[in-house]
Structure 1
Amino acid sequence: MTRRMLSVADYLGLKGKPLGKSEWILVDQARIDQFAEVTGDHQFIHVNPDLAKATPFGTTIAHGYLTLSLLSRMAYDVMPGIEGTKMGVNYGLNAVRFLAPVKSGSRVRGDFVMKDVDERSPGVLRSTVEVTVEIEGEAKPALAAEWVTLAYV
């Protein structure tokens, strides 16, 4: 898929507008185990299917931070690029809430809305994006976040 590119003026015009939904991403046990290995977080609710069966979840669940880390991947599906960008960086999160567990084998996707965008300083655009991560077939989302990024143009 070719990423949609916008001029700075058009990008600034996205304030308050929905950006779209990403493709679905499978969160299987292999992905959860890889995340546990990288982070050193081997809590049984993530990596031990036998013990996790006895929890209210009934199975292993993804780490909340694994789900959060998928925002970058999801953003490539919906966030337009800005013509002339030299680089983009994460600036942080104003808020994040983990609302429902992502069970192993589930698929998730991000729903993105441009809450705010401004020129923080000459050549630096700050975007504040509201993201809701949906779980396929579930009424309650996995998480809701307000994500802030900087683009240097």
Structure 2
Amino acid sequence: MGRTIRGIAEFRSLVGSELGTSEWFEITQERIDAFADVTEDWQWIHVDPERARAEGLGGTVAHGFLTLSLMPRLSAQVFEFAEVGRAVNYGLDKVRFPAPVHPGDRIRLTATMLEASDVDGGGVLGRVSYVVEIEGRERPAAVTQTLMVVYPEPA
């Protein structure tokens, strides 16, 4: 586990700070196929290795939303909260998938705290940049800004 953020005051104080980087995580064709089954998105670029190679893709490509869905798992290695009431996923901004992820690629996430603002109920809305890099590649798999609201412990 990476950094433990203790309370909303510390969360607010981290603006401009890199929170850390996760471990590498391998993307397998089995995971891509399972994601296709769950989402019912069986487009051939994801699930038909022969056709994907024949079409010049070098093989299948992971769904962008698969990469996005792994961000909570990867970010859990980067930071966790303590001494807060709850942390709530508020949404995403500026989601981009600059480079494809292929089976066998390894990805990891780096998180940076961009800004924080107060919200009703004594909470803090944080905007955190997530960059998912692909091992050995220049362009990242995903770049997004996540929004989370962290509330204090009940009085």
Same-fold call, TM cutoff 0.5 = yes
- Aligned partner of 1:7 in structure 2 is 7
- Identify the residue that residue 75 of structure 1 maps to in structure 2: 75
Q: Which residue of 1 aligns with 2:28?
A: 28
- Asked if structure 1 preserves the Cα contact closer than 8 Å seen for 2:8 and 2:151, the reply is no
What is the deviation of 1:8?
Answer: 2.2
Q: How does 1:95-110 map to 2 (within 5 A)?
A: 95-110=94-109
Deviation at 1:141, TM superposition (A): 0.5
TM score, norm. by length of structure 2: 0.91
Between the aligned partners of 2:141 and 2:84, the Cα distance in structure 1 is: 34
How far apart, CA to CA, are the structure 1 residues paired with 2:115 and 2:22? 20
- Count of aligned positions: 152
Gap runs ≥5 in structure 2: none
Q: Is residue 2:130 matched to residue 1:131?
A: yes
The SS at the match of 2:101 is coil
Alignment check: 8 A CA contact 1:8 1:82 kept:
no
Compared with structure 1, are the counterparts of its residues 7 and 152 closer, same or farther at alpha carbon in structure 2 (3 Å cutoff)?
closer
Deviation (angstroms), 1:7: 2.7
The Cα of 1:39 is off from its aligned counterpart by 0.2
CA distance in 2: counterparts of 1:30 and 1:94, whole angstroms = 29
Q: Is the 8 A contact 1:57 1:103 kept in 2?
A: no
Alpha carbon RMSD of aligned pairs, Å?
1.5
Deviation of the 1:152 alpha carbon: 2.5
Sort the Cα spacing of 1:10 and 1:3 in 2 relative to 1 into closer, same or farther, 3 A.
closer
Q: Give how far 1:54 is off.
A: 1.4
Equivalence map 1:30-69=2 (5 Å): 30-69=30-69
Runs (4+) of structure 1 moved beyond 6 Å? none
Q: Distance in 2 between matches of 1:123 and 1:5?
A: 17
C-alpha distance after superposition, 1:4-57 (max 9, x if no partner): 241322221101111111111111001101100000000011011111111332
Alignment identity in percent? 42
SS in 1 for 2:32: helix
Report the Cα distance in structure 1 between the residues aligned to 2:150 and 2:33, rounded to whole angstroms: 33
Tell me if structure 2 keeps the 8 A contact 1:112–1:129.
yes
Code of the aligned partner of 1:118? S
Determine whether 1:143 maps to 2:128.
Answer: no
Displacement, 1:67?
0.3
Aligned amino acid, residue 56 of structure 2: P
Output the TM-score relative to the length of structure 1: 0.92
5+ residue gaps, structure 1 = none
